[in-house]
Amino acid sequence: MNEKTQGKLPIVILISGRGSNLQAILDAVTAGKLPVDVRAVISNRPDAAGLERARVQGIPAIALDHTRYPDRESFDRELAGTIDRYQPKLIVLAGYMRILSPFFVAHYLGHMLNIHPSLLPRHPGLNTHQRALESGDTAHGASVHFVTSELDGGPVVLQAVVPVLQDDTATRLAERVLEQEHKIYCQVISWFAEGRLEYHDGHAYLDNQKLDRPCQLNIKTGSIEHCES
C-alpha cells in the first residue's frame, strides 16, 4: 500500500465489454471523488475494450477466457483465485455478462455489487430497454444491487428513474439510462467504501438502517431521496 491508496477500499472490477461503467469509476477515483483502490480489472473476454481503459491508468488488466474452461464452476474457481490474489474487499461487476456459479456468489456474498439497466424487479436479464418499450413502460432506469444467488434478485440499494419518451428507441433510451448508471454506481460504491453500506441476512443496510425500499436518485437535482427503512 502506498500513500495514494492508503485508507482506500481495495476493489476488483469485472467486465465483459467496452467498460463504460468502469471508466466512470476510474474517472471518479482520479477526481478524488471515490475512496477506492482499483487493484485489478478482469474480463472473461480477451478482446474486451475495457481492458485497455485499465492499462492506460496502470491498473493490472487480466483476461481469463471462459471458453477455455470445461464448465462454469471450474472457470469461476480460477477467477476467484485470480481475484483473491489482489485481496479486494469489494467485487464490482461492471457489465460482466456471465451467470455466476453458486460457489462464486457464496464466496463473495455481501461483498459484490452489480448494476442492472432496469428498475428491478422489472426486467431482469437481457434486452431490458427493448422489453421496457414493448411493455409500454412510462418509466425505466437502472438499479445497483448486492449480488445473490437469484439472477438480478439481490437487495437493491439505489435506483435512477428515467422517463420513457414517446419517440424513444431502445438505443436512445439506453443512452439516457447509461448516463444515470455512471452516477448511481459510483454513489453506491462510495457508500460501501465509507462503511455506510452493508449486507446482512439477505438485506441491504445503509447507515445501520435496513432498506425496505431502494433509495432513488433524483435525476433533475442529483439528490438522493426515498431511502426507506
pLDDT tens profile 13-41: 999 999 999 999 999 999 999 999 999 99
Determine whether 129 is an active site residue: no
Other C-beta atoms within 10 Å of 102: how many? 11
pLDDT of residue 4: 62
**From 66, 107, 111, 116, the catalytic residue:** 116
Range of the domain at 6: 1-108
**Predicted confidence (pLDDT) at residue 55 exceeds the cutoff of 90:** yes
> Are 129 and 103 in the same domain?
no
Answer whether residue 1 shows pLDDT above 80. Answer: no
Q: Helices 20-30 and 170-193 meet at what angle, rounded to 10? A: 40
Residues 169 and 213 occupy one common structural domain = yes
Same domain, 150 and 227: yes
The whole-number average pLDDT for the span 179-188 is: 97
25: nearest Cα among 188, 146, 177:
188
- Counting beta carbons within 10 angstroms of the beta carbon of residue 126, is it exposed (0 to 12), middle (13 to 18) or buried (19 or more)? exposed
| CATH number, residue 126 | 3.40.50.170
- In the predicted model, is pLDDT for residue 219 greater than 60? yes
Same domain for 184 and 85: no
Q: Structure pTM?
A: 0.95
**Based on the domain organization, do 178 and 218 belong to the same domain?**
yes
Q: How confident is the model at residue 164 (pLDDT cuts 50, 70, 90)?
A: very high
Same domain, yes or no: 90 and 121: no
Distance CA 88, CA 9 (A): 8
Give helix then strand counts, H and E, for the chain: 6, 12
99 pLDDT more than 60: yes
Helix (H) or strand (E) holding 172: helix 170-193
Tally of domains within the chain: 2
For residues 37 and 57, membership in a common domain is answered with yes
Q: Could you tell me how far CA 190 lies from the centroid of its own chain?
A: 12
